[in-house]
Amino acid sequence: MSYVFSDLAYAYGKPLVHGRLKARNVDFRVEEIMPIKPSGEGEHLWLKIEKDGSNTDWVAQQLAKYAGVKPMSVSYAGMKDRHAVTTQWFSIHLPGMQDPDFSLFDNEEFRILETSRHDRKLKRGALTGNRFDIYVTDLQGDFEALQQTLETIHQYGVPNYYGEQRFGRDMSNLVKAERLFRGELKKVKKPQRGLYLSAARSWIFNQLLSRRIQQQNWIIPVVGDVYMLNAKSACFIDDDIEATYPRLLNREINLTGCLWGEGESMASADVLNLEQSVASEFEELSKGLEAARLKQERRSLRLNPENMGWSISDQALHISFELPAGAFATMVLRECVNVS
């Protein structure tokens, strides 16, 4: 099957402005927002690191080597883009050991900003979200239309698509998911298997969201919808559409779509029919996810950038915002500017 990311629907029409993203690493800054601060005591050393031009796993390997521990003793909350300047936390398990002298640890691609002990390791996904500060340069096109679209995004949010990077280069993760489900891939390591399953699930969700945008009801409730508190994971059902619609407009709650898997759906009526229809169009993926025993879950259809600000000058867009964990900054940009 052919998978084309660019076919996904736009909420506010295809942008009328073009620009260049990541002309320099410093044009794309990311900083993790953590739910806790290290306590100062414990057998885990937490390190706040700023990296420039290196990937997260490589930094973790360098820390393990310098500290004299196994790679599995170093952990982090989330992967961060290599082609960016990113600030994130790592932890090193050092039971009964002194802190390494990082004053002697010099590396051109990253620097340690802060260290502190804590009683627990830093687990994957253990972050509230990320703060982004982005420059899109070489801007050309209708700047007035861009301003209007940014104001609309600020008010109504953007589609909560999974970003193109989820699917691998040339959508290779989806192709490998198909081969995995057919039994053609043997001895697949757990991390790779997780990538392929996640890509399959994300593609079905993106297709469902695109369909609802085309139907103009991705932020307008219909019969059978399931709701989620903004930036939370708790879901609920409410048949009183007139009562829920004002809460959607003020971004207190969002509509949700299925993350496909086995089990009974919370959706019903029109929404359930649509979700089942989309899943049947990608039967190899949906059946494969069920066979892998993934449980059906829900994801917000809308992404609301918080603390959003922007300026347009000198053929550049400077935009900043905060997103919850699991959201893609590139999907905010996708709605307002075509980037290369």
Give catalytic residues, as residue numbers: 81
DSSP assignment string, 8-74: SPPSS-S-SEEEEE-SSGGGEEEEEE-S----S-SSEEEEEEEEES--HHHHHHHHHHHHT--GGGE
Cβ atoms of 315 and 140 closer than 8 Å: yes
91, 74 contact by CB (below 8 A): yes
Q: What tokens were used for 308?
A: 């959003």
Residue located via tokens 């295809």? 14
Q: What's the rounded Cα separation, in Å, for the pair 334 and 66? A: 40
- In whole angstroms, give the CA distance from residue 272 to residue 223: 9
